Structure 1
Amino acid sequence: MSETLQLKFGEKIPWVMGEVIRIPKVKFPEAREGSLSLPTPGKSLILILTYVFLFYLVLGGIYIGIRDTVTVGGDAQGNAIFLYPTTNEAFIIESLVAGFLIYIAGLGFLLLYNATKHSFNYGYAIKIYILGAFLAFAGFSILQYMIGVKSGKIET
């Protein structure tokens, strides 16, 4: 029970403010200055190697490794092209860009998650939310554009 309430009302109404009833104190969260904390790998070599291996899988490393002919990004005449003409195959540079875009969109979702941690610091949370939404939307949109160009639905 709060000591000031006990001193103020304790003698007048002892049956309400006796030892049985306890008035809890409410601790309100304090708005701190914004500090961004993203889940990052520790200093363990195994975690770092796991992230590198996941990036290798996302960019299609196994597919690139089992192909007979590996092309960086060009046609038979030596002209540089970015996207492979069919949807069944991909250039190495195209796979790298797609992998980076997937990671950028993933970073956007991490920022969206981090914005919920700073709900009491409204201005900072909104900034993180807008940046995260932009990164997630941009990564997804550019990937969809690449797929549309490869499938022939979008003219370049």
Structure 2
Amino acid sequence: MEKQAQGQVKTKKEDVSGSETVFERVKSKTPWFFGKTLRKPKIRFPDMSLPKMDMPLPGKSMGIILIYVILFLLQTGIVYLIYTEPPAMGSNAQGEPVFLYESIHDAFIVESIVASIFIFLCSLGFIFLYQASKHVYNKKIAVRILAIGVILILISYTALQAMITIKLKQKLFGNV
């Protein structure tokens, strides 16, 4: 029995062809260059443990909300509004309120905010389109989310085109 136990210990498992690594191939083919042993260099990294702060961080949703608020302010044209200081809303000669400035190059604050809201709704529509692609296996939910996204995009696009058409003093629906 001892001979069988020793025989089992001494027998080596056959290597499967192609299982050797590149490191083993280089080692077996070029022993004269690297010597009998090929070793990996050992790098000592300094132990730089900095003191950790136990401060709670905001969640991911708060970060996304902050990004959307910043995008909303940039789309509003906050830098332009601060620099030019336009009035919030205007009025015509009869004293009626005017929400859209006559020139295409200038804007009231209300006009900028409304345009930014429509751009934001359009971007939400594209987010809904992306979310619809995640519900591939639940077709009812995917179609509903897709429809909401397309409707938001179309409404936003139509409203922005109407605003530009009114600013250019053209007829809203062509020759109708």
Q: Which amino acid aligns with 2:61?
A: G
Mapped to 2, the partners of 1:140 and 1:41 lie a distance apart of 30
Counterpart position of 1:84: 101
Match of 2:61 in 1: 42
Count residues in correspondence.
Answer: 114
Gaps of 5+ in 2: 1-58
Corresponding residue number in structure 2 for 1:73: 89
In structure 2, what residue type is equivalent to 1:42?
S
Residue-by-residue CA offset, 1:46-84 (whole Å, 9 max, x unaligned): x544432221110111111111x4211112654311111
Distance 2:160 2:61 in 1: 30
Where does residue 102 of structure 1 map in the other structure? Answer: 119
Inter-partner Cα distance in structure 1 for 2:76 and 2:161 = 16
SS in 2 for 1:43: helix
Would you identify which runs of 4 or more consecutive aligned residues in structure 1 move more than 4 Å? none
1:43 counterpart letter in structure 2: M
- How far apart in 1 are the matches of 2:60 and 2:77? 22
Question: Structure 1: any 5+ residue segments left out of the alignment?
Answer: 1-39
Q: What residue number does 1:121 align with?
A: 138
Distance 1:136 1:65, change over 3 A: same
**In structure 2, do the counterparts of structure 1 residues 50 and 112 end up closer, same or farther at CA, with 3 Å as the change threshold?**
closer
Alignment map for 1:46-65 (pairs within 5 Å): 48-65=65-82
Aligned-residue Cα RMSD (Å) equals 2.1
For normalisation by structure 2, the TM-score amounts to 0.59
- Which position in structure 1 is the counterpart of 2:163? 146
Displacement of 1:155 after TM fit? 4.8
Larger RCO (CA under 8 A, 6+ residues apart):
1
The structure having more radius of gyration, on CA atoms, is 2
Q: Give me the identity figure in percent.
A: 35
**Aligned equivalents of 1:74, 1:90: Cα separation in 2:** 10
**Closer/same/farther in 2, CA of residues 65 and 102 from structure 1, 3 Å limit:** same
TM-score of the pair, normalised by structure 1 = 0.66
* Secondary structure of residue in 2 paired with 1:153: coil
Q: How does 1:22-37 map to 2 (within 5 A)?
A: none
d(CA) in 2 for partners of 1:72, 1:79: 14
Cα distance in 2, alignment partners of residues 87 and 111 from structure 1: 31
